[in-house]
A and B are shown apart, each in its own frame.
Chain A
Amino acid sequence: MAHPSQLGFQDAASPLMEELLHFHDHALMIVLLISVFVLYIIVTMITAKLTDKLILDSQEIEIIWTVLPAIVLIMIALPSLRILYLMDEINDPHLTIKAMGHQWYWSYEYTDYDDLGFDSYMIPTQDLAPGQFRLLEADHRMVIPMESPIRVLISAEDVLHSWAVPSLGVKVDAVPGRLNQTTFIVNRPGVFYGQCSEICGANHSFMPIVIEAVPLAHFENWTSLMMEDA
């Protein structure tokens, strides 16, 4: 989850998000270097006392300041395209979950074996237990087995919503009448938070997404318990 006055990304919990983090570090470093360099040139130009008013052109420097930026752009594009294609790789999911957006809650359906479905409402601030996070906690979490490819199919029952979990690098629009697919693997056990990312009415800020990644045995226990309660 996000921390107060956080500047960077949340810690990655999936391999794709790790790749995105590293790429962001790489691109940001290039951008910083260019900015510092340009700032230095500006300062030098302004503070120099002597100026040569007879320079008209210079083939050599013009070639350099065309070729070098092209190389820099290629150095940014290649890792970026690599990640883009990584995202689209064909994978073989172990589990399919449907996340349906409603005004103003999410509902999750696990129908591979039995008809398991439940709603996930935000816990109101006045009902929070000590240590829980304001506007992020939900009454029923989406529990998934860790280290397994999970396919999530996202749709909506009324208006546009968006299912986002930053630590997994996932943000997918929930469109009524359309089924959008995303797949991810969670590297480690834990609880991961996200919030609805498409304006959907009065309580758009109050329909969070909570994913709990657990070992497979615990996931199986949880599904049995949920089926009993239903």
Chain B
Amino acid sequence: MRNEAHAEPPAPVHGRTEASHTEARVRDTHSLSEEQHSFTVRYKSHLELEPRTATKEVKMAEDIKTKLENYRTAPFDARFPNQNQTRNCWSNYLDYHRCQKALEAKGEDTLPCQWYKRVYTSLCPISWVQKWDDQRAEGTFPGKI
């Protein structure tokens, strides 16, 4: 979307004088200093000529990919600041499976869910994960997925 509104000043509304026009639009460049002028020219050209490439979703997917590539270990989670990390492990296990279920139902890429998997793999004892996986297979898993 191009910002053509900034190309010329809008016509003054009845009752308003030139002096009271808002500063949001680019000013008439003739009355500016050289420095202000060059900035305004660059600003205008940025708005007019640069096309919008990355959408918000693509940027988010790239962010999660970087996060996963740079993963070292489960980071500090402010929801669980104390010694007892049982809930941290449980929460991430549930979040992974809920995320998988939700994104598969929508038919979307499940890459963002990998973050939760990495975190619960780091935190949860292997025996707990195995037990929960068996319970899910049997249908006796106590959590809500």
Contact = CB atoms under 8 A, between A and B. Distances in A.
A binds B: yes
Interface of A: 90-96, 98, 100, 109, 111-112, 115, 117, 151, 153, 155, 157, 172, 177-182
Interface residues of B, number: 20
Contacts of A115: 126
B84 interface: yes
A182 B82 CA distance: 10
Contacts of B126: 98, 109, 111, 115, 117
From B73, B84, B124, B126, residue with most partner A Cβ within 10 Å: B73
B111 interface: no
Given A93-B73, A153-B123, 5 more contacts: A92-B75, A153-B125, A172-B83, A179-B125, A180-B85
Nearest to A98: B125
Q: Which DSSP category, helix, strand, loop or mixed, fits chain B's interface?
A: loop
A71 to B, nearest CB: 33
Contacts of A100: 125, 127
Contacts of A109: 125-126
A96 B123 contact: yes
Contacts of A117: 126
Nearest to B76: A90
The 7 tightest CB contacts between A and B, nearest first, are A179-B85, A96-B73, A179-B86, A181-B85, A96-B122, A112-B73, A112-B122
B142 interface: no
Contacts of A178: 84, 86
B74 interface: yes
Given A90-B76, A92-B76, A112-B72, A155 B83 contact: no
